Structure 1
């Protein structure tokens, strides 16, 4: 069975701009961001990629035409070969009616209510209804799917199934929390034998969305909502939450069954609606680090209080021992570690596709399970995140020739590139590392990465200012071999963190060894490596450690602020030349700027 899944809408950005004023920094505040496609063949995830990697519009909402075509081309398929098309949204007429009823019952100004009702009706009719989605698909691809072969998967169900599939399809309890889905913002439940049960009494509506609240705080601090929440997470390390914390004491009320509500209503269509409340709590906004960190620390504590309350309810409702945490809120890795450590669950998984980048995977899996008679008989092999395009030596060398007047390069063997890069990294240099298939999800996981030596205390400043062109407070993640991680980090009950979804304290004896990868609060967002998943990168780290006695490397995404992670060799070369990255390992080619190094005969 062949299942193609896609997420993205041709007109959603235009619609939200026209009807809700969602432009500029607010353009991703509402639904549709992280357009992507995924392809599942007989239960095997053979391809998945985000549209932003092709169209170079970060967090794009557009229909994923390039992603869809690449997935099919990669597998040698055409649209006619697809058995099912899966969509990770289900704006059925019943759902739309329920959303409209929620708005009608909500306490708000009559004029605002009327505008919101008209907006939702227009959104459904023009953009997200099943009919509108299929018309969009046909207009962009030239192929009109048979409606009988299209599966509309509720957004939160898609999130849960993403986690379920990527964690090996174990029976699991789950918490899904994000900004908003069709009607809700968070659901609790469990998956047994592929079947989902939602605990309806614990469901959270969008008017009490902790994800939307965190996004509103993100915007208040001057950042882009639904994009820069990780900046708030990083800022929180520079302060302790106020005592008492007004976010916890005054803004939220915890209710039975894991539910909660905001004492000051959240206007889900207005990311600025709570700004006066924030200023009442913390004083008039100013962009000083001290002010921003104080607000961020308060927000981080609030997130922990709310999600911990939800998890306590989930523990009482499910006797399963494996926990899935999915949705955009699950990307707050600073929250994840204490959340797990304070729970009774034996394991907690947060996937590389936890945000909306991954919902096409879950939608495809849901469709496959529902329509396949023998899915349960299939052994589920481990899935790694390297699911996107790969470019061979010929494509790399073609790109190098196009930049012939600005770069020099040497072609090396596998062992030579590892050895040379390891030696270069013993110095205070920044290296672009490009290999294999593009990783899926919002974080670079070693195939499109920027690497550096964490033993230099000021290397963070070098990368932030000279390379990434971003705020100086931003921390960097360390790469560490899985078997070495507990020696360097206080990992508690966790044994691995392959997707940078957990934060751990750096053991005191190593804080001076890897200062460039240790945040101001003494923690690190860790990525553990294995030879199975990342053999060449693991080999590079081993060689580097042998040369330096430093057991980690800094890893950050191969891009600059505001741009997607690089996809093609040309993307990598443009980023390399547009920044102060010192060297580029492009496949087996070591690249320098302005013919600073020897040039291989392939450039002739």
Structure 2
């Protein structure tokens, strides 16, 4: 059975701009962000890619035309070969009625209600309804799908199924929390034998979304909501939360069954509706590290308290011992480690597709497991899934790209051992290296195939990369990669033995603070990626060789891009980023690339 997962809408940004003011810093206040596609063939995930990697528009919401076509081409398939199309949204007429009921009962002026209802009506009829999605698919691809073969999967169920599949389809309890789905912002439940069950009494409505509240705080601090929340997370390490915490004292109320509400619900049509409250708590927004860090620390503590409250209720409701945490809130890796350590669960997984990048995978899995012909698959265990699911470019394509940049770059072709040896030696110095190999990773984090690498021994290497390469704020930390067996020696891993997707943060052991200062945040922690020979053999060999030369057991890893741009995908993307920054060397497959030396001709005397 062939299942295509598909997320993205052609007109959603236009409708949101017209009716909800989603322009400028509000441009990600949308549905369908992180558009992309995936392909499941007989239960095996063979391809997945975000549309932004191909159309080069960060966090794009557009219909994933390029992603869909690439997935089919990668598998050698045509549209007519597809058995099911899975959409990770289910805006049914019943859901729309529920949304309208919420608007009409909200404490808003009648005129504001009418404006909001008009905007929601246009969004439904022109963008997200079943008919609108089918028409969009047909218009953009030229293929008209059979409505009976299109499965509309509720958004949070797609998130849960993403985690379930990527964790090996073991029976699990789940917590899903994000900005909003169709109606809710967070749900909990169980998946047993591939069948999903939501604990309805624990569901949290979108007007009380901790994800949207964190986005509102991100906006108040001068960052882009639904995009820059990780900056708030990083800033929180520079301060302690105020005591008492005004968010917890005055805004958030905790209830039975793991639910929570806000004393002032969020306003769908007014994303800045809570700004006066934030100013009451912290004063007018200030562009200073001290102010931003104080607010960020309070927000981080609030998020931790709320998700812990949800998890305590889930623990009491389920007898399962494995936990899945999915949704955009699960990307707050600073929260994930204490959340797990304080729980009774044996293990907790946060997938590389925890944000909306992964819902195309979960939707396809949900459609596959729900089909009558695949009942036996519920008891199967899939092969381990790698995050390296996107496009790969062969040597011929790489060398063609290099020739097109002739005169601007110089390169040497190396064998496998030479790549590892020469790059390890280069990294003993204070240099920055673009590392490009194999299929591009899926999800928001670079996991070693489209990465920027450096030596964390140098305390100021963070400043070098932030200012000269990434062009971003100086307070932003970087993640270390470490061989999985070495991780407990360097970091206080607690009950975790691996962190392959940078979804957990651990304290750096005191004896290593001076060994990897470039990868240690101000609060003494690191967002760790553990690697193995099985998952990333070349990168593991490089790290092993580097450690032998330096006695430093980690490399600094950040995504191969600059601020505001998607991670590089093609060799041409990599070369453009290399030449547009102060990256010192580029490893492009088996090619070591340097910038050409510009020589000026001496004039004859």
Give the Å deviation of 1:113.
Answer: 1.5
Matches for 1:267-416 after TM superposition, within 5 Å: 267-371=267-371, 372-416=374-418
CA shift, 1:377, in A, is 4.9
Partner Cα distance (2:368, 2:269) in 1 = 35
Match of 1:265 in 2: 265
SS state at 2:485 partner: coil
What is the aligned residue count?
597
Deviations 1:99-130 (A, max 9, x none): 11111122222222221111111111010000
Following TM superposition, by how much is the alpha carbon of 1:596 offset from its aligned partner in structure 2, in angstroms? 8.3
Aligned partner of 2:237 in structure 1 is 237
Give per-residue Cα distances to partners, 1:280-299, cap 9 Å, x unaligned.
00011110000000000000
Instruction: Tell me the secondary structure at the aligned position of residue 139 of structure 1.
Output: helix
Output the CA distance in 2 between the equivalents of 1:196 and 1:105: 31
2:431 aligned with 1:429, yes or no? yes
Matched with 2:167 is 167
Q: Is the contact between residue 456 and residue 518 of structure 2 (CA under 8 Å) also seen in structure 1?
A: yes
Task: Say yes or no: does 1:104 pair with 2:108.
Answer: no
1:408/1:596 contact within 8 Å kept? no
- Distance in 2 of aligned mates of 1:72 and 1:596: 44
2:461 matches 1:459: yes
Instruction: Find the aligned partners of 1:456 and 1:83 in 2 and give their Cα distance.
Output: 53
Aligned residue in 2 for 1:450 = 452
Q: Which residue does the alignment assign to 1:600? A: none
Q: 1:208 to 1:377 in 2, by over 3 A?
A: closer
What does 1:16-31 correspond to in 2, within 5 Å? Answer: 16-31=16-31
- Aligned residue among 497, 502, 506 for 2:504: 502
Checking the alignment, whether the CA contact within 8 Å between 2:12 and 2:30 is kept in structure 1 is no
1:215, 1:271 within 8 Å by CA — same for their partners in 2?
A: no
Q: Secondary structure at the match of 2:375?
A: coil
Q: How does 1:51-66 map to 2 (within 5 A)?
A: 51-66=51-66
* Counterpart residue number, 1:128: 128
Matched with 2:93 is: 93
Aligned equivalents of 1:343 and 1:108: distance in 2? 40
Q: Which residue does the alignment assign to 1:482?
A: 484
Structure 2 unaligned regions, length at least 5: 600-605
Q: Quick one: distance in 2 between partners of 1:172 and 1:135?
A: 36
Counterpart selection for 2:565 from 553, 563, 566: 563
Query: Secondary structure at 2:310's aligned position in 1?
Result: helix
In 2, Cα distance between the equivalents of 1:109 and 1:282?
28
- State whether residues 425 and 452 of structure 1, in contact with CA within 8 Å, keep that contact through their aligned partners in structure 2: yes
SS of match in other structure, 2:358? helix
SS at match of 2:587: strand
4+ residue runs over 6 A deviation: none
Residues 236 and 297, structure 1, Cα contact 8 Å, conserved in 2: yes
| 1:547 counterpart = 2:570 | no
Please give the alpha-carbon distance, in whole angstroms, between the structure 1 residues aligned to 2:39 and 2:291.
46
Q: Structure 2: how far apart are the matches of 1:546 and 1:596?
A: 35
2:6 aligns to what?
A: 6
Match of 1:526 in 2: 528
Equivalent residues of 2:168, 2:381 under 8 A apart: no
Provide Cα deviations, 1:394-437, integer angstroms capped at 9, x if missing partner.
00000000001100000000110111110000000000000000
2:516 and 2:17 mapped to 1: Cα distance? 45
- How far apart, CA to CA, are the structure 2 residues paired with 1:352 and 1:83? 26
Secondary structure at 1:374's aligned position in 2?
A: helix
Deviation, structure 1 residue 267: 1.1
Q: 1:485-514: CA deviations, max 9, x gaps? A: 000000100000000000000000001000
Q: Is the 8 A contact 2:2 2:83 kept in 1?
A: yes
Q: Structure 1: which 5+ residue stretches go unaligned?
A: 598-604
Shift of 1:271: 2.1
Partners in 1 of 2:494 and 2:156 — Cα distance?
29
Report the CA distance between 1:13 and its aligned residue: 0.2
Cα-Cα RMSD: 0.9
Q: Structure 1-normalised TM-score?
A: 0.98
Paired with 2:103 and 2:281, the residues of 1 have a C-alpha distance of 28
